[in-house]
């Protein structure tokens, strides 16, 4: 794992946008694995600005998101589809038929998981996967478990994950308890991975992920086995 140390969130976002921009400059039809959460928002803003300024052309890429809550539709303001549209795609007028996110309202959820894996395969796999990390070491919604789950699956969200995500909801009880998430297989098959980490509350998870045992109880630790991971972490996230 290659580590890039940066001062703060702004620098992390700057660096991440520059690296992702390099990938897109080399391959205009890159399949980008994308994440939600507060961490990538600054990067998305910078990428959209670069596109709008004519410095980068994002029109040919495909977005494949990691996860979506179950029970919430794409037009619900707390859904991850809505999040992506608001924080990235709408900022530069992206054709959202090129943006893929699991459907949390699918009537047959196991079928939806299979559809999502087949879609990723049909797109030729992921060129660059952007990841954040949960305080408990989750990536996407691959939560701490006894095994690493390979395929897209239904995830039961940890209490800690629900507590961390409660800030987006009016009442903590409103946070969904389940989500659909891309599995470890598609993430690890990505040609390149960019892990973004900011803030002291992620410091322990980052340290364990980078230097601890490879253990499904800390899902991000699997990234040690990937040949092309760049971690961009700020001072607060590196304090452990
Ligand atoms: C969320 C998402 C993850 C994200 C993580 C951290 O629950 N499912 O993909 O990386 O938690 O979120 P944040 O960036 O807001 O800290």
Q: Whose CA is nearest to atom 3 of ligand 1?
A: 140
pLDDT computed for residue 208 by the predictor: 98
3-class SS of residue 131: strand
State which ligand 1 atom lies nearest to the alpha carbon of 40. 14
For residue 189, what are the CA distances in angstroms to 128, 151, 207? 10, 11, 23
Q: How far apart are CA 237 and CA 201, in angstroms?
A: 7
C-beta of 165 in contact with ligand 1 (< 6 A): yes
Q: Of ligand 1's atoms, which has the minimum distance to the CA of residue 157?
A: 7
pLDDT value for 34: 98
Closest by CA to 190, choosing from 145, 131, 237, 233, is: 131
Please tell me the distance between residue 141's alpha carbon and the centre of ligand 1 in angstroms.
8
CA–centroid distance, 126 to ligand 1, in Å, is 19
Tell me what pLDDT residue 161 has. Answer: 94
Q: Does any ligand 1 atom lie closer than 6 A to the CB of residue 132? A: yes
- Cβ 140 under 6 angstroms from ligand 1: yes
Q: ∠ at Cα 77 (59, 110), nearest 5°? A: 80
Query: Residues in the chain with pLDDT < 70?
Result: none
Q: What is the pLDDT of residue 227?
A: 98
The pLDDT value given to residue 99:
98
Residue 36 C-alpha to ligand 1 middle, in angstroms? 6
Asked if 68 and 81 touch (Cβ cutoff 8 Å), the reply is yes
Q: Residue 202 has what pLDDT?
A: 98
Longest dimension (CA), the chain: 47
Instruction: Provide the edge-to-edge strand list for the sheet that holds 67-69.
Output: 67-69, 178-181, 153-156
Which pLDDT score, from 0 to 100, does residue 231 have?
Answer: 98
Contact 125, 161 (CB under 8 A): no
Question: pLDDT for 96-146, tens place per residue?
Answer: 999 999 999 999 999 999 999 999 999 999 999 999 999 999 999 999 999
What is residue 59's predicted lDDT score, i.e. its pLDDT?
98
Cα 158 from Cα 47, distance rounded (Å): 32
Whole-model pTM: value is 0.98
The answer to whether the CB of 199 is under 6 A from ligand 1 is no
Q: Distance from the CA of 53 to the center of ligand 1, in angstroms?
A: 29
| Structural domains of the chain in order of their starting residue, each with its CATH number | 2-180+187-193 (3.40.50.1360)
Angle at which helices 80-87 and 41-52 cross, to 10°: 40
**What value, to the nearest 5°, has the Cα angle with vertex 37 and ends 148 and 39?**
100
- List the catalytic residues: 67, 136, 138, 143
- Helix H or strand E encompassing 81: helix 80-87
Of all protein residues, the one whose alpha carbon is nearest to atom 12 of ligand 1 is: 37
């Amino acid at each position: 794992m290659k580590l890039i140390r940066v001062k703060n969130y702004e620098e992390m976002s700057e660096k991440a946008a520059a690296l992702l921009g390099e990938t897109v400059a080399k391959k205009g039809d890159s399949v980008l694995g994308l994440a939600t959460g507060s961490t990538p928002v600054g990067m998305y803003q910078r990428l959209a600005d670069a596109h709008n300024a004519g410095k980068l052309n994002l029109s040919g890429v495909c977005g494949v998101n990691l996860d979506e809550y179950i029970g919430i539709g794409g037009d619900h303001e707390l859904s991850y589809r809505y999040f992506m549209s608001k924080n990235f795609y709408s900022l530069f007028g992206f054709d959202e038929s090129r943006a893929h996110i699991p459907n949390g309202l699918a009537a047959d959820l196991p079928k939806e998981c299979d559809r999502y894996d087949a879609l990723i395969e049909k797109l030729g796999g992921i060129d660059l996967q952007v990841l954040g990390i949960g305080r408990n070491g989750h990536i996407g919604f691959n939560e701490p478990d006894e095994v690493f789950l390979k395929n897209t699956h239904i995830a039961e969200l940890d209490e800690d994950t629900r507590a961390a995500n409660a800030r987006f909801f009016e009442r903590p009880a409103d946070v969904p308890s389940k989500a659909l998430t891309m599995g470890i297989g598609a993430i690890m098959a990505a040609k390149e991975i960019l892990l973004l980490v900011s803030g002291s509350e992620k410091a322990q998870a980052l340290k364990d992920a980078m230097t601890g045992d490879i253990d499904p109880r800390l899902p991000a630790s699997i990234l040690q086995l990937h040949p092309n991971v760049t971690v961009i972490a700020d001072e607060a996230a590196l304090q452990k």
